[in-house]
Structure 1
Amino acid sequence: MADKQISLPAKLINGGIAGLIGVTCVFPIDLAKTRLQSQQNGQRMYASMSDCLIKTIRSEGYFGMYRGAAVNLTLVTPEKAIKLAANDFFRHQLSKDGQKLTLPKEMLAGCGAGTCQVIVTTPMEMLKIQLQDAGRIAAQRKILAEAQLASQGGAQPSAEAPPAPRPTAMRLTRDLLRSHGIAGLYKGLGATLLRDVPFSIVYFPLFANLNQLGRPAPEEKSPFYVSFLAGCAAGSMAAVAVNPCDVVKTRLQSLQRGVNEDTYSGFLDCARKIWRHEGPSAFLKGAYCRALVIAPLFGIAQVVYFLGIAETLLGLLQTPQA
């Protein structure tokens, strides 16, 4: 049976709907992941994901857990749309006469999808990380100021420094464009590619094969719960597999550093310093959080995608009026 022609508008809409739902559900865990990955030994503020979320709520309120969510909600639609639609496009192009794709071709399609998505992913992650990590930097500076005050015998400073203005996505974008041009928004592009391309190479073939196990018949779709579980399993496995690159990417894209924290000149310099100063286990920082983020994110995405919500909507719009 030949593959049916891909409906690109439907794929884009499905990917966008899935991204919006998924990000809204898991964003606080993603914030914890970023803060855990950004902190360096000797400057640790958070012992675990739950500790990070509790301290964030205490110091920044409930909505502090959604720092940077607006950027993600704005850009996740094109990002997820490009990723899912590109994978379908490449699978369609690589298939012949409706035959099942071989594993190398499935991996090649995933590679193409991961490469396409970084056009949107890199600037989105760049802005999101600054907003997510701002609370950690501010809290660390406050603790340092209180420690210095205590060491001076509790003497009050002659003039209290005004608090730094809270960063916004628009201000960060303007500053980056003014100082570095468009390249400023693409800092960490290499690390993003090294994370997202292997992720897609692992995720899409693994999902396709897990999802196929639940098909009642070769010509039928898998039940929605099979697609959800396959998306969760494939997403979490792929997320943990590429976590070392995600740690490096987060460090490279963090423009502000805490007190006595390392700076990095590039991917290899960052990886060497992490290995030397924090040990190999540092490359797994936030892996648990990342798996908890990616699993439902892609599970929801695949359910929306395979239910064909957009196809239904487009079909209603195209129905001729009586």
Structure 2
Amino acid sequence: MAPGAGPADQPGFGVSLLAGGVAGVSVDLILFPLDTIKTRLQSPQGFNKAGGFRGIYAGVPSAAIGSFPNAAAFFITYEYTKFFLRPDSSSYLVPVTHMVAASVGEVVACLIRVPSEVVKQRAQVSAASGTFQIFSNILYQEGIQGLYRGYKSTVLREIPFSLVQFPLWESLKALWSRKQDHVVDSWQSAACGAFAGGFAAIVTTPLDVAKTRIMLAKVGSRTASGNVLSALFEVWKTGGISGNQEGDFSSEIRMAI
């Protein structure tokens, strides 16, 4: 990279940005039914009362609208953070740089992701209500802050996910490369990423359950305050340890892909 040049000056940056956004939209829409099942499994009223297998595309407009800017915000922040930190390529700090960049990217992306997620999850457990109606009700009852309910719990979930996924993915690729004595192919990198994403989803599922409970909680309730430990304690009281793992299988599939 030329001195003084930033990520935006690199050839193909715009193409990569567009591709990342389109990929984000495609994945979210294709795997939306799994996301709906996960949300209903994690909801306080239980899977069947939340809608079961009916209306599994409820809330898809919110996901479709928020997915592209969310993916773009993460990609831009991730690339610029790596550029500003830019350790030497041989430095042991390279993995740390990727982890820090991913964490900063998640914090910024959540500014877009959380409002979309709040509306989407409420639509998923209230299939009879339209996305716009739910959005309007949130603004009327809670104001703008209602759209950001669960921001802290979402960030607390996304950062550990990235910290687990990225180092594991890189380690698996390096191990596979050494075993076959050449750089991994694209499908091998994808396989490593799928395993890393699935493992990270298992580790962070309790935080994902807390996020869902906070976003779906009734206005004024204790859980709606956004306290993650309080939300986890409520889940533990009603469902034990297994209650904190609700939706883990669907989370593994979605995150791995």
Q: One fold, TM greater than 0.5?
A: yes
Matched, 1:285 2:246: yes
Matched, 1:33 2:38: yes
Cα distance, 1:214 vs. partner? 5.8
Matched, 1:45 2:48: yes
Partners of 1:14 and 1:81 within 8 A in 2: no
Partners of 1:83 and 1:117 within 8 A in 2: yes
Task: Measure, in 1, the Cα distance between the counterparts of 2:250 and 2:65.
Answer: 22
Cα distance, 1:267 vs. partner? 2.4
Task: Measure, in 1, the Cα distance between the counterparts of 2:199 and 2:76.
Answer: 22
Select the residue among 64, 69, 77 that pairs with 2:68: 77
- TM-score, normalised to structure 1, is 0.67
Task: Measure, in 2, the Cα distance between the counterparts of 1:2 and 1:199.
Answer: 33
Partners of 2:29 and 2:63 within 8 A in 1: no
SS in 1 for 2:244: helix
Stretches of structure 2 lacking an aligned partner (at least 5 in a row): none
Distance 1:33 1:44, change over 3 A: closer
Task: Measure, in 1, the Cα distance between the counterparts of 2:191 and 2:119.
Answer: 31
Select the residue among 86, 100, 105 that pairs with 1:95: 86
Partners of 1:188 and 1:253 within 8 A in 2: yes
Report which structure shows greater RCO (CA 8 Å, sep ≥6): 1
Name the larger-Rg structure.
Answer: 1
Partners of 1:79 and 1:121 within 8 A in 2: yes
- TM-score, normalised to structure 2, is 0.82
Matched, 1:121 2:113: yes
Partners of 1:131 and 1:168 within 8 A in 2: yes
Stretches of structure 1 lacking an aligned partner (at least 5 in a row): 47-51, 136-165, 297-322
Distance 1:74 1:44, change over 3 A: closer
Matched, 1:270 2:199: no
Cα distance, 1:117 vs. partner? 1.3
Task: Measure, in 1, the Cα distance between the counterparts of 2:192 and 2:76.
Answer: 18
Percentage of pairs with the same residue: 28
Distance 1:190 1:96, change over 3 A: closer
Task: Measure, in 2, the Cα distance between the counterparts of 1:229 and 1:99.
Answer: 26
Partners of 2:88 and 2:94 within 8 A in 1: no
| Residue identity matched to 2:33 | P
Partners of 1:114 and 1:196 within 8 A in 2: yes
Select the residue among 162, 169, 181 that pairs with 2:131: 169
Cα distance, 1:73 vs. partner? 1.5
Could you tell me which residue of structure 2 aligns to residue 12 of structure 1? 17
Could you tell me which residue of structure 2 aligns to residue 189 of structure 1? 151
Distance 1:231 1:78, change over 3 A: farther
SS in 2 for 1:284: coil
Deviates more, 1:78-87 or 1:16-25: 78-87
Deviates more, 1:92-101 or 1:190-199: 92-101
